[in-house]
Amino acid sequence: MRTDRFQHPDHYLMDELLTEEHKLIRETVRAWVKKELSPIIEDYAQRAEFPRHIIQGLGEIGAFGPSLPAEYGCGGMDQISYGIIMQELERCDSGIRSTASVQGSLVMYPIYKYGSEEQRRKYLPKLASGEWMGCFGLTEPDHGSNPGGMTTNFKDMGDHYLLNGAKMWISNAPFADVAVVWAKNEAGKIHGIIVERGMEGFSTPETHNKWSLRASATGELVFDNVKVPKENLLPNISGLKGPLGCLDSARYGIAWGAIGAAMDCYDSAKNYAMERIQFDKPIAGFQLTQKKLAEMLTEITKAQLLTWRLGVLKNEDRASTAQISMAKRNNVQMALEVAREARQIHGGMGITGEYPIMRHMMNLESVVTYEGTHDIHLLITGMDITGISAFR
């Protein structure tokens, strides 16, 4: 493993828009990543294994639910801080950012936003520290982009609920202690239920043979007549707007995270181009290499500006679903294109684990699909422009 020499590009002096606290958070997370993650990530990705021993460290740097209130053991930070943490984690690996953003935005957020006070106090502190890990079950084998069609269901049995069905493609599932599961009641209304590992009839088989997000654990959630206590229902939400509201928060984190992956590819490509000699000069001296680097930096800079502004709107509680969609879609596609260009600059070395490029590129193939595919986000923007849904 090469030494992690990463330095972020800041062509438009974006650092001047950050507070001292933002910069301190960034430096803390970056230093932790360089020490704890960079030396091991390639190995874990090659072995298709999630490095579980880092969970405690992720909790200690405040990566789990950073913008939820401190009274529940969370960070109480602003939304830009949350974004910066996701950026720094995904700078190392999208799978590590996934673990953190699922925990914070898709497990802790719904418990905080839709849960009872008892549920908040029972789950949030343990999830914030990493003592417990969580996952989010929305997608099903036959319902991905169209989660409203879900068939997972629960029946009211008087003193408990009986849950049946299956979820697929669930990040963190193989090791999660708790799952926030979206299911329909007998009236066909969607509700969130907290399912705990160990409940009879609940299993979480791991999904193998992924070429993407190999350092993140993915699995299914299978519910076979699972008896769930009534107090595990999230009382303050019903309907598809429950899970979709959580997705806004996670998609926002991904918009920041994808910039991290792009910056890492750019930084590696720039360094490689300066050092690699062909035809008796650094390849950075050829116009075609400079075109690639210039376009990469331009796109990263545009994404940084878009996302910083989105963070300001989010801090003011004014960021709309469509604005978040646009940033998620733009930034992930941008990162994929940057990764592909960076791969070219690294020549044959670009396909090896000596450099992070291929790992980022393969990871981003999941990121462009999960949390709403590239095309679904285009249609969300289209609906925002026209007021007409093109989904059906």
Q: Which residues are catalytic?
A: 371
**Rounded least distance, CB 315 to ligand TGC, Å:** 18
Q: Does 370 bind ligand TGC (CB under 6 A)?
A: yes
Count of beta carbons in the 10 Å neighbourhood of residue 365: 15
Q: Does 87 bind ligand FAD (CB under 6 A)?
A: no
Q: Does 205 bind ligand TGC (CB under 6 A)?
A: no
Rounded to whole angstroms, the Cα distance separating 306 from 367 reads 19
Rounded to whole angstroms, the Cα distance separating 243 from 258 reads 22
| Assigned token pair, 307 | 């996302």
Nearer to ligand TGC, 354 or 365 (CB): 365
Rounded to whole angstroms, the Cα distance separating 138 from 193 reads 11
Find tokens 């079950």 and name the residue.
137
Q: Under rule CB under 6 A, which residues in 141-160 are in contact with ligand FAD?
A: 144-145
The residues, ordered by sequence, that sit 6+ positions from 279 with a Cβ below 8 Å of its Cβ are: none
Q: Under rule CB under 6 A, which residues in 102-121 are in contact with ligand TGC?
A: 102
Phi-psi region of 322 (alpha: psi -120 to 50; beta: other; left: phi over 0): alpha
Task: Choose among ligand FAD, ligand TGC, none what residue 369 binds, the Cβ cut-off being 5 to 8 Å by kind.
Answer: ligand FAD
**Rounded least distance, CB 362 to ligand TGC, Å:** 14
- The helix (H) or strand (E) run that includes residue 165 is strand 160-171
The residues, ordered by sequence, that sit 6+ positions from 381 with a Cβ below 8 Å of its Cβ are: 322, 325, 326, 329
Task: Choose among ligand FAD, ligand TGC, none what residue 375 binds, the Cβ cut-off being 5 to 8 Å by kind.
Answer: ligand FAD
Task: Choose among ligand FAD, ligand TGC, none what residue 222 binds, the Cβ cut-off being 5 to 8 Å by kind.
Answer: none
Q: Under rule CB under 6 A, which residues in 155-184 are in contact with ligand TGC?
A: 171
Q: Does 372 bind ligand TGC (CB under 6 A)?
A: yes
Among residues 148, 160, 136, 153, the alpha carbon closest in space to that of 224 is found at 153
Q: Does 213 bind ligand FAD (CB under 6 A)?
A: yes
Q: Does 376 bind ligand FAD (CB under 6 A)?
A: yes
Task: Choose among ligand FAD, ligand TGC, none what residue 321 binds, the Cβ cut-off being 5 to 8 Å by kind.
Answer: ligand TGC
Q: Does 366 bind ligand FAD (CB under 6 A)?
A: yes
Task: Choose among ligand FAD, ligand TGC, none what residue 21 binds, the Cβ cut-off being 5 to 8 Å by kind.
Answer: none
Q: Under rule CB under 6 A, which residues in 373-392 are in contact with ligand TGC?
A: 376, 380, 389, 391
Rounded to whole angstroms, the Cα distance separating 195 from 226 reads 9
Q: Does 240 bind ligand TGC (CB under 6 A)?
A: yes
Q: Does 266 bind ligand TGC (CB under 6 A)?
A: no
Q: Does 101 bind ligand TGC (CB under 6 A)?
A: yes
Q: Does 369 bind ligand FAD (CB under 6 A)?
A: yes
DSSP string of 204-269? -PBP---SSSTTS-EEEEEEEEEEEEGGGB-TT--STHHHHHHHHHHHHHHHHHHHHHHHHHHHHH
- The DSSP letter of residue 144 is S
**Rounded least distance, CB 264 to ligand TGC, Å:** 18
Amino acid at 157: M
Count of beta carbons in the 10 Å neighbourhood of residue 334: 22
Rounded to whole angstroms, the Cα distance separating 277 from 355 reads 17
Q: Under rule CB under 6 A, which residues in 125-144 are in contact with ligand FAD?
A: 135-139, 144
Give Cα 277 to chain centroid, integer Å.
Answer: 37
# residues contacting ligand TGC (CB under 6 A): 26
**Rounded least distance, CB 22 to ligand TGC, Å:** 22
Q: What are the CA-CA distances from residue 386 to residues 90, 176, 267, 280, 377 (Å)?
A: 34, 41, 39, 56, 14
Q: How many CA atoms lie within 13 A of 197 on its CB side?
A: 13
**Rounded least distance, CB 87 to ligand TGC, Å:** 14
Count of beta carbons in the 10 Å neighbourhood of residue 19: 11
Q: Does 98 bind ligand TGC (CB under 6 A)?
A: yes
Q: Does 145 bind ligand TGC (CB under 6 A)?
A: yes
Q: Which residues bind ligand TGC (CB under 6 A)?
A: 98, 101-102, 136, 138-139, 145, 147-148, 171, 239-241, 244-245, 247-248, 250, 321, 370-372, 376, 380, 389, 391
Q: Which residues bind ligand FAD (CB under 6 A)?
A: 102, 135-139, 144-145, 169-171, 213, 218, 366, 369-371, 373, 375-376, 379, 391
